[in-house]
Amino acid sequence: MSKYLIAGNWKMNTNLDDAKRISNVLHSYKNFDSEVEMLICPPFTHLNFMSELLDMSRISLGAQNVYSETEGAYTGEISNDMLVSVGCEYVIIGHSERRIIFSENNELINKKVTNSLKAGLRVILCIGETMQEREEGRTNSILGSQLDDCLNKVEFNIENLKVAYEPVWAIGTGKTATNEQISDTHDFISDYLKKRYENSHIKILYGGSMNSTNAKEILSIENVNGGLIGGASLNPESFLEIYNSAIELI
Ligand code: PGA
């Protein structure tokens, strides 16, 4: 198992030409290290061609969302099986943008996590508190209940589970959590996961305005096992600098 996972979440950005341009830069990168896994999560429409273009032994491919049902009359939705069939290995579930904009609740997220793990996908479950919840001193109780509910009855394929801590107020805002906030919160999540899944080594990623300037410091914090990077992952040079920061910490 690699030491770090550096994941790019392109969100609803890039057309096919942009995706080809970024993929070509990543593809020609020479300094891959098996201790640092690189993951790209482009929009659904790019998954198929990217799985053909990228050297998947070096760069993993993930989706940003999936539906909870296996097949049927769900216009506009994408199933686990469809993702697997185009070479997708990972899926991000429960991103705060899905929770807030698309009203996804913990119950739906739990269903998605369950079915994606059953389908053999690796799941990045996102959790995080709002600024108001943090100011009210409720961060750990919110994260604890998100973990309780989203992982309800999830007791299998745990080796394929990762958790991303993404404070809602730090996403796309340029406001990163302080090192102390990240450290305290990752320790809390790590304790929770160790208690819940004995002897498991579930990676905990930090997400929220991570960039090439702050990545090394954040990744050096104990219990930070990688990053989920939005904005900075759209610039392949910046993303590779973040990837390199992880290599420097090995
Ligand atoms: P950001 O996004 O790096 O642009 O803050 C992170 C995320 O939403 O995963």
Confidence of residue 54 (pLDDT cuts 50, 70, 90): confident
List residues bridging with 227 in a β-sheet: 6, 206
- Identity of the residue numbered 234: L
Residue 162, classified by CB atoms within 10 Å of its CB into exposed (0-12), middle (13-18) or buried (19+), is buried
166 in catalytic set: yes
Higher-pLDDT residue of 53 and 167 is 167
**Placement of tokens 């590779």 in the chain:** 240
Kindly report, residue by residue over 168-199, the tens digit of the pLDDT. 999 988 888 999 999 999 999 999 999 999 97
Q: Report if pTM > 0.75.
A: yes
Question: Strand 122-127 relative to strand 90-93: parallel, antiparallel, unpaired?
Answer: parallel
Q: 8 C-alpha to center of ligand 1: Å?
A: 9
95 in catalytic set: yes
Determine whether the shortest distance from the Cβ of 116 to ligand 1 is under 6 A: no
Confidence of residue 134 (pLDDT cuts 50, 70, 90): very high
Confidence of residue 102 (pLDDT cuts 50, 70, 90): very high
Q: 60 C-alpha to center of ligand 1: Å?
A: 18
Side-chain-side CA neighbours of 31 within 13 Å: the count stands at: 11
Q: What is the mean pLDDT of residues 13-25?
A: 96
Taking all residues of the chain, what is their mean pLDDT, rounded to a whole number? 96
